[in-house]
Amino acid sequence: MEEYGSHAHSISSCKYHFVWCPKYRHPVLGLVQDEVTELFTETADHFGHEILALEIADDHVHLFVQTDPKHSPADVARQFKSYSGKHILERRPEIRESYFWGGGFWKVGYYVGTTGVVSEEVVQRYIEQTEH
């Protein structure tokens, strides 16, 4: 994906940094790291996202993704978490039985931060200078 996305009537640069954990913060991601990577790649391809960085620790995931502005951060998190969580538990029943007996692989919550090519200070100065 290019630095800016071009659409019918807009240009955008939407980049999000997400962090989320397995339920109960069980340190199981090292056991399923390859599956998580594969499932995240499939999700990105399906929805047209670009994974800019991915780091999988034992008990949490960092995902840096660029996407179209039609996808809200909540939508993006749901897309990655629901698809991967469902398939991990289907593929690895031993993990489900040992750690996730209550259903669901990921915690409900997550962290999201936005990044862009223009700093907050530049935007503020631009707005202040263009006021009439």
Q: What is the dihedral of CA 46, 111, 107, 105, to 10 degrees?
A: 30
For the chain, the first-to-last Cα distance in angstroms comes to 37
pLDDT in tens, 27-74: 999 999 999 999 999 999 999 999 999 999 999 999 999 999 999 999
Domains detected in the chain? 5-129 (3.30.70.1290)
Q: What is the pTM of this model?
A: 0.85
